[in-house]
C-alpha cells in the first residue's frame, strides 16, 4: 500500500485584502492510496476546487496555506511554503472544471497537444510528436480530425475529452478531475465517467474526483470524502458512505437525490451553505442540522473514527460500533 | 464563414459612413449661416473681395436647383475636386493629401516605436503585478500619457537645441526639398528610388518627432497590455497550461500573449484620431511641414475649403483605419462571437 | 429624484473613501486635484498681478524676466507675470472642462439610453451617427465652427462636446441595453409610460454612477485636448490677450530657447492636472478590479 496523497491539518485560504485572509478549507486530513479513486463531494462553494488546486499545485500566489501536504513522500506544502517543482505537471495534473474555458482558444487542439508533448519528450521527432498526439486523442475516443480544430469548433463533451488527452501527456501518477462531468448532459456524464474509470485502471492512476453528483460518485469512486464548509465531515468507502450515511449532512444530501426505484421525495436541505469567513461557531452544520443539540453550537466536533470510516459529528461521540 | 460575413458587413458600414461624410460636407458648404459664398471665399476684405465672392458663388453653383447642386457635389467629391485653398491658392485635395501623408509618416513610425516597447513594458508589469517593476512601469506610463505632447516635444527640441541639432525639425535638408516620390513618405520614397543619402537625412530628422509622438501610445498601450494580460493570466486555460507543467516562456508567449493582439488592434484604431491631433502639435513645435502646420495657417486665414477638405480626409482615413482594426480583430480572434 | 441623486453620490463617495484608505498615489492625486480646483476658483482673486493676468497691463520693458521673488514664475514676452496668467487661465480651463464633460455626459446618457429602449430604426440611426461623429477630428471641427460662428472659444467647446458625447452615448447605450430586458424597465414601457419618464426614473439612476467615474477619468484628457486645440489655434495668432493655457504655450514657443520658463510653467501645470486626474480614476478602477487588486508574480 502506497500513499499517494496525505494531508496533515491543512488550511487553505485566499488573501482578499492586505493581511486579511479568508480561510476556505480548514483542518483537512485525508489519505489517498495510490491507484485508487478518491472522491470529494459537497455543495457549491464548500471548497472542493480549492482542495483540488492545492493538490495539483495550482493555488494562486495570493493563496495562504498552513499545515502539510505530502505527495509520494515529498512535502509539497509546508506551512506557508509550496514546493511543486518536479511535481506539478509531472506527477500530478488537473482536468479542469469547465471545458469551455480551459483550452487555449487561440490554438488548435493539435498545436496544444504537440506543445505539451514537445516539452515533456524533448527528443521526439516532429512526426512522432504528431503520432503521439493522435494516439492520445484515440485514447480518449476522439476522432483524428480534432487535431486540426480550434476549441470553439468542438462540443462540450469533445472539449472535455481533449482536455483529458492534454492531461495525459506527462503520464502523471495523480490526476485531479475537477467536476469533469458537471458541464455535460446526463448521457455524456455517464460516458465521461466510464472513460475516466477505464483510464484510471489502464494507466494505474490515482484519481481525485471532485463532484457534486452523487450518482457519478457512486459509479466511479473507491473512497469518498464529504466536504461541508471546508471540512471533511464524513470519510469512508464509497459504497458504505452512500448506502448507510452516518453524518446528518450526508443523509440529507443523499435524500436530495431522487432514486430511480424508491421514488423518494426530493428533499432539499433547508438553509444555505455558509460562506467562507462567515462559518458559524461550533459544528459548521448546526444551522441546518435536524439533530442539533447544545454541544454542537459552541464546540466543533472532531473526526470520530468508526471502523473503516470517520464522521465529524457529536452524535457519534463515545459511540463505538 | 462568420468572420467573412462580419468583414463584409463592416465594410458596408464604413461605406455608409463615408456617404454620411459626403452629406455632411454638402450641408457644410451649401447651407452655412450667412452667405455660403462669402465663407467659401474665406471672408475676403478689400478690393478683390467682390470678385472672389462671385467666383465662389459660381463654383458652389448657388443659383442652380438643389438636386443639380447635390449631383455636382457628389461628383466633385469623388473626382477629388475639393475646391481651391484660399490661403495657398492650390487645389485642396492636393494640399491635404500631401501634408496628411507627411503626418502619417510620423504616426506610423511612432507606432512602430511604441508598440513593441509598450508590449514589453506591459508584459513586464503584469508578470510582477504589485511589485516594484510594475509600479515603476505604471507610473512612467501614466506620466508619459499625461504629459501634454507640446511639453514632450519642446523638451526634446530644447535638448537638441542645446546639443546644437536644433535644425533637425524640417522634413529634409534644404538641398533636397525638390525631391518627391510615389508615396509621399520621404523615408520610403528615398529607399524606393535608391537615394540612401536622402533616406538617412530624412530618417534622422524624423526620429525626434516620432519619439515625441510615441510617448502617448506608449503610455496608453502599456497600461492596456498590463490590464488585459493580467486578466488573461487568471484565465482557466492558463492555469491548465501551468498544471501541465509547461515552461513559463511558452505560457506567457503562446498562451497569454495572443489574447492581447486583438485588443491592441482595436486600440490602435481608437488612438488614431488623437494621434493625428498630437502630430499637428508636434509638427508645430518642430516647425516641420505637415498637416499641423498646414491647419494652423489655415485657421489663421479662415481658409474654409482647406479645413473642410482636411476634416473630410482625416475622417475618411479614420473610418478606414477603424474598419481595418475591426477586421484584424475579427481575424486574429478565433472565438468568433460576432 | 433626490433620493436617486443621493444614492449615486453615496456610491461614488464610498468608492473614493475605500481607495483613499488603500493607495498613497490616490491620496496624492486627490490632494493635487483639490489644490487645482481651489486655485481655479480663487485664482483671479489671489493672483499677484490681476491686470497682467487678464492681459491688459503690457509692458515690454520687463519682458522675459527669469523667475524671481517679484515674479515667481518669471514674465512672458509682453512683460506679464506668468503665475498670474496661469491662475487666470486655470480658472477658465477648469470651467470649460466642467461644461464640456457635464453637457456631453447628460447628452450621452439620454441619447444612449433612448437608443437602447427606443425603436429599432432609431437605434441603428443613432449608432451610425455616433460612429460618424467619432470619426471627426475635434480640432478641425472646432476650426470649422469657429469660421462659421465667428466665435473662437465657444466653437472649441461645442466641437469638443460633439466629439466627446458619442463616447458617453455609446457607453450609456451598452449599459442601458443590458437593463432593457429587466422588468423594471420593460413593464412601465409595456403599460404605456413615456420613454423619457422611464429613462429618468429607471435607467439613468442605474447607469450614472459608473459613467460619472468614467467622466472623472476623462477630465484630464479634456483639459489636455482643449489646450491642445487652443495651442493650434494660437499658433497663427499674432497677439493674445485672453488667458488660456494652450494659447500661452503657443505664444511662448518662439521664446523657448531664451526663456524656457514661459513655456515650461503652463505646460507643467497641464501635465499635473492630466496626470492627477488619470491617477484618480485609475486607482479606483484598480481597487475595484477583481484581478488587478491582487498581487501576482511568476509563481509557477
Ligand atoms: N481565487 C480566489 N480568490 C478568493 N476567493 C476564492 C478564490 N477561489 C475561490 N474562492 C472562494 O473560496 C470558496 C470555495 O471556492 P471553490 O471554488 O473551492 O468552491 P467549489 O466547492 O469548487 O464550488 P463549485 O462547486 O462552485 O466549483 C468560494 O466561496 C470562493 O468565494
Ligand atoms: S455535530 Fe450536531 S449539528 Fe453537527 S452534524 Fe452532528 S448533530 Fe448535527
Ligand atoms: Mg469548483
**pLDDT per position in chain A (321 positions), as tens?**
789 999 999 999 998 877 788 999 999 989 999 999 999 998 888 899 999 999 999 998 889 999 999 999 899 999 888 898 889 999 999 998 888 888 988 889 999 999 999 999 999 999 999 999 999 999 999 999 999 998 888 888 899 999 999 999 999 999 999 988 887 888 888 889 999 999 999 999 999 999 888 888 888 999 999 999 999 999 999 988 988 888 999 988 887 765 554 444 445 667 777 888 888 888 988 888 888 888 888 888 888 888 788 999 988 887 654
**B165 contacts: CB under 8 Å, gap ≥ 6:** none
What is the position in ligand 1's atom list of the atom closest to the CA of A51?
18
What is the position in ligand 2's atom list of the atom closest to the CA of A293?
2
Q: Alpha carbon of A72 to those of A4, A27, A54: distances in Å?
A: 5, 20, 15
Q: Distance of alpha carbon B264 from its chain centroid, rounded?
A: 16
Atom 30 of ligand 1, residue of closest alpha carbon: A45
Which residues of chain A lie closer than 8 angstroms to B234, CB-CB?
60
Answer yes or no: do A61 and C22 touch at CB < 8 A.
no
**Best of A249, A304, A314, A317 for a ligand 2 pocket test (most atoms within 8 Å of beta carbon):** A314
Which pLDDT does position C239 carry in this prediction? 54
pTM: 0.90
Answer yes or no: do C232 and B234 touch at CB < 8 A.
no
Q: What is the mean pLDDT of chain B?
A: 88
Domains in chain B, please, with CATH?
2-78 (no CATH), 92-332 (1.10.3720.10)
Interface with B, mutate which of C134, C147, C170, C281 (most B CBs under 10 A): C147
Q: Which of C232, C279, C298 sits opposite B299 (nearest CB)?
A: C232
Which pLDDT does position A319 carry in this prediction? 62
**CB of C174 closer than 8 Å to CB of C130:** no
Phi and psi at residue A274, to the nearest 5°: -70, 150
> Which residues of B lie inside 8 Å of A (Cβ-Cβ)?
234-237, 239-247, 250, 254-255, 258-259, 333-336
CA of A98 to the centre of ligand 3 (A): 9
Which pLDDT does position A265 carry in this prediction? 45
Low-confidence ranges of chain B (pLDDT < 50): 337-338
Which pLDDT does position C277 carry in this prediction? 92
Three-class DSSP labels, A163-213:
HHHHHHCCCCCEEEEECCCCCCCHHHHHHHHHHHHHHHHHHCCEEEEEECC
Answer yes or no: do A105 and B234 touch at CB < 8 A.
no
Cα separation, B265 vs B324, in Å, equals 9
Q: If 0-12 CB within 10 Å is exposed, 13-18 middle and 19+ buried, where does residue C2 land?
A: exposed
What is the position in ligand 1's atom list of the atom closest to the CA of A275?
29
Q: Which sign does the torsion angle of CA C181, C185, C190, C196 carry? A: negative
Which residues of chain A lie closer than 8 angstroms to B243, CB-CB?
56-58, 88-89, 93-94, 167
Answer yes or no: do A101 and B235 touch at CB < 8 A.
yes
Domains in chain A, please, with CATH?
3-91+173-317 (3.40.50.300), 100-171 (no CATH)
Interface size between B and C, measured as CB pairs under 8 A: 167
Which residues of chain A lie closer than 8 angstroms to B245, CB-CB?
88-90, 93, 119-120, 170
Which pLDDT does position A269 carry in this prediction? 67
Which pLDDT does position C200 carry in this prediction? 82
Which pLDDT does position C237 carry in this prediction? 60
The strand pair at A174-178 and A92-95 is best described as parallel
Which pLDDT does position C192 carry in this prediction? 79
* Residue C114, domain extent: 2-298
Degrees (nearest 5) of the Cα angle C198, C202, C204? 100
Using a CB cutoff of 8 Å and minimum separation of 24, what contacts does B35-43 make?
B36/B60, B36/B62, B37/B62, B39/B304, B39/C147, B39/C148, B40/B83, B40/B304, B40/B305, B41/B86, B42/B86, B42/B87, B42/B301, B42/B302, B42/B303, B42/B304, B42/B305, B43/B302, B43/C147
Q: What is the mean pLDDT of residues C174-189?
A: 84
Pocket of ligand 1 (CB under 6 A): A 14, 16, 22, 24, 44-50, 60, 97, 212, 275-276
Which pLDDT does position A183 carry in this prediction? 76
Which residues of chain B lie closer than 8 angstroms to C278, CB-CB?
142, 145-146
Is residue A82 in contact with ligand 2, taking CB distance under 6 Å? no
Which pLDDT does position A321 carry in this prediction? 46
Q: Which sign does the torsion angle of CA B180, B186, B190, B196 carry? A: positive
Interface with C, mutate which of A16, A53, A62, A90 (most C CBs under 10 A): A62
Number of Cβ within a 10 Å radius of residue A313? 23
Answer yes or no: do A102 and B334 touch at CB < 8 A.
no
Residue with cell 477586421: B327
Which ligand does the CA of A276 lie closest to? 1
Cα separation, B321 vs B315, in Å, equals 10
**Best of A47, A229, A230 for a ligand 1 pocket test (most atoms within 8 Å of beta carbon):** A47
Which ligand does the CA of A51 lie closest to? 1
State what percent of residues in chain C have pLDDT above 70.
97
Answer yes or no: do B247 and A152 touch at CB < 8 A.
no
Which residues of chain A lie closer than 8 angstroms to C290, CB-CB?
none
- pLDDT of C100 > 90? The answer is yes
CA neighbours closer than 13 Å in the CB half-sphere of residue C86:
24
Answer yes or no: do A56 and B250 touch at CB < 8 A.
no
Cα separation, B193 vs B195, in Å, equals 6
**CB of A56 closer than 8 Å to CB of B243:** yes
Tens digit of pLDDT for each residue in C199-216? 888 888 888 888 888 888
Cα separation, C129 vs B16, in Å, equals 10
Which ligand does the CA of A247 lie closest to? 2
Which ligand does the CA of A45 lie closest to? 1
**Best of A45, A213, A277 for a ligand 1 pocket test (most atoms within 8 Å of beta carbon):** A45
Which pLDDT does position B210 carry in this prediction? 94
- DSSP-assigned letter for residue B91: B
Is residue A289 in contact with ligand 2, taking CB distance under 6 Å? yes
ipTM comes to 0.89
- DSSP-assigned letter for residue C81: B
Which pLDDT does position C300 carry in this prediction? 82
Tens digit of pLDDT for each residue in C247-281? 888 888 888 888 888 899 999 999 999 999 999 98
**Best of A273, A285, A288 for a ligand 2 pocket test (most atoms within 8 Å of beta carbon):** A285
- pLDDT of C150 > 80? The answer is no
Number of domains in chain C: 1
Q: What is the CATH number of the domain that holds C70?
A: 1.10.3720
Which residues of chain B lie closer than 8 angstroms to A177, CB-CB?
none
Interface with B, mutate which of A102, A148, A183 (most B CBs under 10 A): A102
Segments of C102-257 assigned E as strands: none
State what percent of residues in chain C have pLDDT above 90.
26
> Which residues of C lie inside 8 Å of A (Cβ-Cβ)?
22, 294-297, 299-300
Q: Which of A60, A94, A152 sits opposite B335 (nearest CB)?
A: A152
Alpha-helical (H) ranges within B184-303 are 186-192, 196-233, 236-243, 248-250, 260-285, 291-300
Tens digit of pLDDT for each residue in B236-255? 899 999 999 899 999 999 89
Contact status of B145 with chain C (Cβ, < 8 Å): yes
Cα separation, A246 vs A311, in Å, equals 7
Cα separation, C107 vs A103, in Å, equals 43
Interface with B, mutate which of C135, C149, C156 (most B CBs under 10 A): C135
Phi and psi at residue A95, to the nearest 5°: -100, 125
Answer yes or no: do C296 and A61 touch at CB < 8 A.
yes
Tens digit of pLDDT for each residue in C213-254? 888 888 888 999 999 988 888 765 655 677 888 888 888 888
Amino acid at each position: 500500500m502506497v500513499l499517494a496523497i496525505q494531508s496533515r491539518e491543512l488550511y487553505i485560504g485566499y488573501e482578499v485584502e492586505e493581511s486579511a485572509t479568508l480561510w476556505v478549507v480548514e483542518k483537512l486530513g485525508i489519505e489517498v492510496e495510490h491507484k485508487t479513486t478518491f472522491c470529494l463531494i459537497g455543495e457549491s462553494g464548500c471548497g472542493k476546487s480549492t482542495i483540488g488546486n492545492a493538490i495539483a499545485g495550482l493555488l494562486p500566489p495570493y493563496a495562504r496555506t498552513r499545515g502539510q501536504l505530502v505527495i509520494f513522500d515529498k512535502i509539497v506544502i509546508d506551512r506557508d511554503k509550496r514546493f511543486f517543482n518536479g511535481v506539478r505537471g509531472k506527477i500530478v495534473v488537473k482536468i479542469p472544471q469547465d471545458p469551455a474555458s480551459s483550452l487555449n482558444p487561440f490554438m488548435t487542439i493539435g498545436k496544444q497537444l504537440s506543445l505539451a508533448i514537445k516539452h515533456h519528450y524533448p527528443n521526439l521527432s516532429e512526426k512522432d510528436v504528431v503520432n503521439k498526439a493522435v494516439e492520445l486523442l484515440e485514447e480518449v475516443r476522439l476522432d483524428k480530425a480534432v487535431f486540426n480544430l480550434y476549441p470553439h469548433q468542438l462540443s462540450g463533451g469533445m472539449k472535455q475529452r481533449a482536455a483529458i488527452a492534454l492531461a495525459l501527456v506527462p503520464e502523471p501518477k495523480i490526476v485531479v478531475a475537477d467536476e469533469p462531468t458537471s458541464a455535460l448532459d446526463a448521457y455524456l456524464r455517464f460516458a465521461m465517467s466510464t472513460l475516466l474509470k477505464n483510464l484510471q485502471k489502464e494507466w494505474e492512476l490515482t484519481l481525485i474526483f471532485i463532484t457534486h453528483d452523487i450518482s457519478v460518485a457512486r459509479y466511479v469512486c473507491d473512497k469518498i470524502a464529504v466536504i461541508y464548509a471546508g471540512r471533511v465531515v464524513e470519510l469512508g468507502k464509497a459504497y458504505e458512505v452512500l448506502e448507510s450515511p452516518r453524518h446528518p449532512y450526508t443523509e440529507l444530501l443523499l435524500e436530495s437525490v431522487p432514486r430511480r426505484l424508491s421514488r423518494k421525495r426530493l428533499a432539499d436541505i433547508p438553509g444555505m451553505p455558509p460562506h467562507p469567513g462567515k462559518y458559524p461557531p461550533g459544528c459548521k452544520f448546526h444551522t441546518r442540522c435536524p439533530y442539533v443539540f447544545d454541544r454542537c453550537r459552541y464546540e466543533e466536533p472532531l473526526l470520530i473514527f468508526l471502523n473503516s470510516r470517520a464522521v465529524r459529528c457529536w452524535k457519534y461521540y463515545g459511540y463505538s460500533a | 464563414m462568420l468572420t467573412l460575413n462580419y468583414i463584409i458587413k463592416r465594410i458596408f458600414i464604413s461605406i455608409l459612413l463615408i456617404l454620411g461624410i459626403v452629406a455632411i460636407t454638402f450641408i457644410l458648404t451649401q447651407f452655412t449661416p450667412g452667405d455660403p459664398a462669402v465663407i467659401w471665399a474665406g471672408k475676403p476684405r478689400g478690393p478683390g473681395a467682390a470678385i472672389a465672392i462671385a467666383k465662389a458663388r459660381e463654383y458652389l453653383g448657388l443659383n442652380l436647383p438643389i438636386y443639380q447642386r447635390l449631383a455636382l457635389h457628389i461628383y466633385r467629391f469623388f473626382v477629388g475636386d475639393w475646391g481651391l485653398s484660399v490661403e495657398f491658392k492650390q487645389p485642396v485635395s492636393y494640399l491635404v493629401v500631401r501634408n496628411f501623408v507627411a503626418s502619417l509618416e510620423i504616426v506610423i513610425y511612432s507606432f512602430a516605436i511604441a508598440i513593441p516597447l509598450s508590449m514589453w513594458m506591459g508584459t513586464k508589469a503584469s508578470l510582477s503585478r504589485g511589485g516594484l517593476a510594475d509600479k515603476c512601469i505604471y507610473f512612467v506610463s501614466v506620466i508619459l500619457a499625461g504629459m501634454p505632447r507640446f511639453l514632450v516635444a519642446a523638451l526634446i527640441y530644447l535638448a537638441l537645441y542645446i546639443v546644437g541639432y536644433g535644425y533637425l525639425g524640417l522634413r529634409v535638408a534644404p538641398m533636397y526639398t525638390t525631391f518627391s516620390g510615389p508615396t509621399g513618405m520621404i523615408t520610403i520614397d528615398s529607399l524606393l528610388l535608391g537615394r540612401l543619402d536622402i533616406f538617412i537625412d530624412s530618417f534622422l530628422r524624423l526620429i525626434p518627432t516620432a519619439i515625441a509622438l510615441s510617448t502617448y501610445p506608449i503610455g496608453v498601450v502599456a497600461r492596456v497590455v498590463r490590464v488585459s494580460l493580467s486578466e488573461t493570466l487568471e484565465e482557466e486555460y492558463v492555469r491548465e497550461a501551468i498544471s501541465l507543467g509547461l515552461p513559463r516562456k511558452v505560457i506567457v508567449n503562446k498562451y497569454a500573449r495572443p489574447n492581447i493582439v486583438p485588443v491592441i488592434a482595436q486600440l490602435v484604431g481608437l488612438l488614431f484620431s488623437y494621434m493625428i491631433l498630437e502630430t499637428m502639435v508636434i509638427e508645430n513645435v518642430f516647425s516641420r511641414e505637415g498637416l499641423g502646420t498646414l491647419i494652423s495657417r489655415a485657421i489663421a486665414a479662415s481658409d474654409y475649403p482647406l479645413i473642410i477638405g482636411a476634416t473630410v480626409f482625416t475622417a475618411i482615413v479614420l473610418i478606414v483605419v477603424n474598419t481595418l482594426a475591426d477586421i484584424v480583430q475579427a481575424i486574429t480572434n478565433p472565438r468568433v462571437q460576432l | 429624484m433626490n433620493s436617486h441623486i443621493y444614492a449615486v453620490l453615496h456610491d461614488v463617495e464610498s468608492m473614493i473613501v475605500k481607495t483613499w484608505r488603500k493607495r498613497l498615489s490616490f491620496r496624492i492625486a486627490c490632494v493635487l486635484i483639490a489644490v487645482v480646483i481651489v486655485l481655479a476658483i480663487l485664482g483671479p482673486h489671489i493672483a499677484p498681478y490681476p491686470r497682467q493676468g487678464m492681459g491688459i497691463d503690457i509692458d515690454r520693458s520687463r519682458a522675459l524676466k527669469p523667475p524671481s521673488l517679484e515674479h515667481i514664475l518669471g514674465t512672458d514676452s509682453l512683460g506679464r507675470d506668468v503665475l498670474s496668467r496661469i491662475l487666470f487661465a486655470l480658472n477658465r480651463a477648469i470651467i470649460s472642462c466642467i461644461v464640456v464633460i457635464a453637457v456631453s455626459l447628460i447628452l450621452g446618457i439620454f441619447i444612449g439610453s433612448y437608443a437602447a429602449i427606443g425603436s429599432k430604426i432609431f437605434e441603428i440611426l443613432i449608432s451610425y451617427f455616433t460612429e460618424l461623429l467619432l470619426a471627426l477630428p475635434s480640432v478641425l471641427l472646432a476650426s470649422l465652427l469657429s469660421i462659421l460662428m465667428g466665435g473662437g472659444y465657444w466653437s472649441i467647446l461645442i466641437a469638443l462636446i460633439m466629439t466627446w458625447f458619442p463616447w458617453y452615448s455609446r457607453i450609456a447605450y451598452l449599459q442601458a441595453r443590458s437593463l432593457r430586458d429587466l422588468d423594471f424597465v420593460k413593464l412601465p414601457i409595456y403599460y404605456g409610460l413615456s420613454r423619457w419618464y422611464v429613462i429618468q426614473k429607471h435607467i439613468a439612476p442605474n447607469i450614472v454612477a459608473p459613467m460619472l467615474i468614467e467622466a472623472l477619468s476623462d477630465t484630464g484628457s479634456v483639459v489636455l485636448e482643449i489646450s491642445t486645440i487652443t495651442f493650434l489655434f494660437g499658433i497663427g495668432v499674432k497677439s493674445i490677450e485672453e488667458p488660456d493655457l494652450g494659447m500661452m504655450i503657443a505664444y511662448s514657443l518662439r521664446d523657448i530657447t531664451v526663456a524656457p520658463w514661459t513655456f515650461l510653467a503652463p505646460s507643467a501645470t497641464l501635465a499635473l492636472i492630466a496626470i492627477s486626474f488619470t491617477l484618480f480614476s485609475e486607482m479606483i478602477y484598480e481597487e475595484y478590479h477583481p484581478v488587478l487588486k491582487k498581487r501576482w508574480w511568476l509563481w509557477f
